[in-house]
Amino acid sequence: MSYEAVIGLEIHAQLLTNSKMFCGCSTKFGAEPNTQVCPVCLGMPGVLPVLNKKAVEFAIKMALATNCAINPKSIFARKNYFYPDLPKGYQISQYDEPLTKKGFIDVDVNDSKKRIGITRIHMEEDAGKLLHGETNEDINYSFVDLNRAAVPLIEIVSEPDMRTSDEAVEYLKALRDILVYLEICDGNMEEGSFRCDANVSVRKIGQKELGTKTELKNINSFRFIQKAIEYEIKRQIDVLEDNGKIIQETRLFDSDKGITISMRSKEEAHDYRYFPEPDLLPLEIDAKWIEEIKKNLPELPAAKRERFVKGYGIPQYDAGVLTSSKALANYYEKCVQAYRGQGVKGGYPSEGWVGGQEIPKVVSNWVMGELLRLLKEDGKDINQPSVFGLQPESFAKLLKMIDEGTISNKIAKDVFEEMFKTGKDPDAIVKEKGLVQISDESAIIKAIDDVLNANQQSAADYKAGKEKLFSFFVGQVMKATKGQANPALLNKLLKEKLSR
């Protein structure tokens, strides 16, 4: 327990531009290999790169969203290395004078806020992709697909400010949410459009200097990143406890075994021989353009969360779930609006509360509970509204039917499922299936009498003090009425009966 970990992350995010960074080729994912290439992105001799303005705009958006100052003048540089997926023999990146200066984001970790510094955000181009395989005759082969070559990326480098794997994961999630909210990256880790390298070291608590770090490369899920960092922290502590030394190296995470393995040491690391890209002028950014982009930034996840907590009075947790995607947050807001718009009659205040809960919380419970459950079960995504016809207005109508006692909460869940599957109106479903709640006293009393008659011993036990049996009776009456008895009325009538 006398050690602490130090973690810094380097994140690559593919920008959602239509065309590549320095040519007009498409960036669309999943096309036939090598169909989205041209002399520029293939690195043919004599061609000249032309910078994609949209890519710069997207990078500026991210810089503004992460409190980074933007350098009025930045420089592209060549990062030289040989690899089969890099036909030019160098990658155009930024080095000495990147697009941004320092910034930060605030992240919620275990109920407290933590500020994590961002060292820099710079622009660069992606490399192609190698596909390795083996023939039936055990011959190894590699194919190269250059569709990805020169797709625009931003690299976001953090300060070594994180101390636990939880902090690292929350930081990573927060950055991804911002990118997706800005609509400048799809955040897809599986397809590699959002990638993370984690730098990890440990030091004795109280020690000022940083320990020697290792770099964990290309881990493609939040869960694996958490596991890889945790494994690495433990491994490094064990080495130090054994009087060993940490070697500065790049390590790979083996997700099957849950361990990290050495890939190459510092001695084998590349010397990239950076120098300014002679084919591109320095990138000068007009302050007016920055202002314009700033004005048009959307509400970001953290601000939305805060507004949901303050404006709707829902718990932090709910706000976190509901703002996990812009589409879900929008849907939630539309439902609250529709519900409020309907007004609620029958003794409820017009801002109608169900069971003592305010409208925004009731809607939140239903969206987080039923809606997300059904979306998950069907493998559907709220981001594709076409996949389900569940209009906020029908959602609100259903909740109002609970309010007014037309149907019970329990039955409403079945109705909701039907709505979700068919897109039908709740009124129609309730009518069709005869699900209207029984609020007729005599019908409920009859059901209670039947149940008490059939369970005379239990009734006697209850009267002798076994009060736990109450819920048993409730359950039996509900069963007898197919769940349609008005629960409040049932409770009241049953209490009366049993107290006699």
Residues of the shown chain interacting with Zn ion in the complex, contacts defined by CB under 5 A: 23, 25, 38, 40-41
> Residue 210 touches which of Zn ion, ligand ADP, none (CB < 5 to 8 A by kind)?
ligand ADP
Shortest distance in whole angstroms from residue 23 CB to Zn ion: 3
> Residue 38 touches which of Zn ion, ligand ADP, none (CB < 5 to 8 A by kind)?
Zn ion
Closest to Zn ion by CB, 22 or 171 = 22
> Residue 10 touches which of Zn ion, ligand ADP, none (CB < 5 to 8 A by kind)?
ligand ADP
- Residue 399 region, left (φ>0) first, then alpha (ψ -120 to 50), else beta? alpha
> Residue 240 touches which of Zn ion, ligand ADP, none (CB < 5 to 8 A by kind)?
none
Shortest distance in whole angstroms from residue 147 CB to Zn ion: 10
Q: Which span (3-11, 125-133, 165-173, 226-234) binds ligand ADP, by CB under 6 A?
A: 3-11
Shortest distance in whole angstroms from residue 18 CB to Zn ion: 12
Closest to ligand ADP by CB, 197 or 370 = 197
Binding flag, residue 228, ligand ADP (CB under 6 A):
no
Q: Which span (21-29, 85-93, 210-218, 463-471) binds ligand ADP, by CB under 6 A?
A: 210-218
> Residue 158 touches which of ligand ADP, Zn ion, none (CB < 5 to 8 A by kind)?
ligand ADP
Q: Which of 52, 71, 74, 158 binds ligand ADP (CB under 6 A)?
A: 158
Q: Which of 120, 176, 213, 361 binds ligand ADP (CB under 6 A)?
A: 213
Q: Which span (154-162, 291-299, 361-369, 481-489) binds ligand ADP, by CB under 6 A?
A: 154-162
Torsion angle, CA of 27/33/37/41, rounded to 10 degrees? 80
> Residue 392 touches which of Zn ion, ligand ADP, none (CB < 5 to 8 A by kind)?
none
Binding flag, residue 352, ligand ADP (CB under 6 A):
no
Site for ligand ADP, residues 167 to 206, rule: CB under 6 A: 199-201
Site for ligand ADP, residues 267 to 326, rule: CB under 6 A: none
Q: Which of 3, 6, 393, 436 binds ligand ADP (CB under 6 A)?
A: 6
> Residue 25 touches which of Zn ion, ligand ADP, none (CB < 5 to 8 A by kind)?
Zn ion
Is 154:59 a contact under the CB 8 Å cutoff?
A: yes
Shortest distance in whole angstroms from residue 216 CB to ligand ADP: 11
Binding flag, residue 157, ligand ADP (CB under 6 A):
yes
Q: Which of 44, 69, 210, 460 binds ligand ADP (CB under 6 A)?
A: 210
> How far is the C-alpha of 180 from the C-alpha of 289, rounded, in Å?
22
> Residue 387 touches which of Zn ion, ligand ADP, none (CB < 5 to 8 A by kind)?
none
Q: HEC states along the chain?
A: CCEEEEEEEEEEEECCCCECCCCCCECCCCCCCCCCCCCCCCCCCCCCCCCCHHHHHHHHHHHHHCCCCECCEECEEEEECCCCCCCCCEEEEECCCCCECCEEEEEEECCEEEEEEEEEEEEEECCCEEEEEECCCCCEEEEEECCCCCCEEEEEEECCCECCHHHHHHHHHHHHHHHHHCCCCCCCCCCCCEEEEEEEEEEECCCCCCCCCEEEEEECCHHHHHHHHHHHHHHHHHHHHCCCCCCCEEEEEECCCCEEEEEEEHHHCCCCCCEECCCCCCEECCHHHHHHHHHCCCCCHHHHHHHHHHHHCCCHHHHHHHCCCHHHHHHHHHHHHHHHHHCCCCCCCCCCCECCECHHHHHHHHHHHHHHHHHHHCCCCCCCHHHCCCCHHHHHHHHHHHHCCCCCHHHHHHHHHHHHHHCCCHHHHHHHHCCCCECCHHHHHHHHHHHHHHCHHHHHHHHCCCCCHHHHHHHHHHHHCCCCECHHHHHHHHHHHHCC
Closest to ligand ADP by CB, 212 or 409 = 212
> How far is the C-alpha of 429 from the C-alpha of 166, rounded, in Å?
45
Residue 123 pairs with which residues in a beta bridge?
154
> Residue 8 touches which of Zn ion, ligand ADP, none (CB < 5 to 8 A by kind)?
ligand ADP
Binding flag, residue 12, ligand ADP (CB under 6 A):
no
Question: Could you tell me whether strands 194-204 and 76-80 are parallel, antiparallel, or unpaired per DSSP bridges?
Answer: unpaired
> Residue 201 touches which of Zn ion, ligand ADP, none (CB < 5 to 8 A by kind)?
ligand ADP
Is 128:146 a contact under the CB 8 Å cutoff?
A: yes
> Residue 23 touches which of ligand ADP, Zn ion, none (CB < 5 to 8 A by kind)?
Zn ion
Closest to ligand ADP by CB, 78 or 79 = 79
Shortest distance in whole angstroms from residue 19 CB to Zn ion: 8
Closest to ligand ADP by CB, 211 or 301 = 211
The HSE-up count of residue 381 (CA atoms within 13 Å, CB side) is 5
Total number of residues that touch ligand ADP (CB under 6 A): 15
Shortest distance in whole angstroms from residue 311 CB to ligand ADP: 36
Binding flag, residue 9, ligand ADP (CB under 6 A):
yes
Is 265:248 a contact under the CB 8 Å cutoff?
A: yes
Give the interface with ligand ADP as residue ranges (CB under 6 A): 6-10, 157-160, 199-201, 210-211, 213
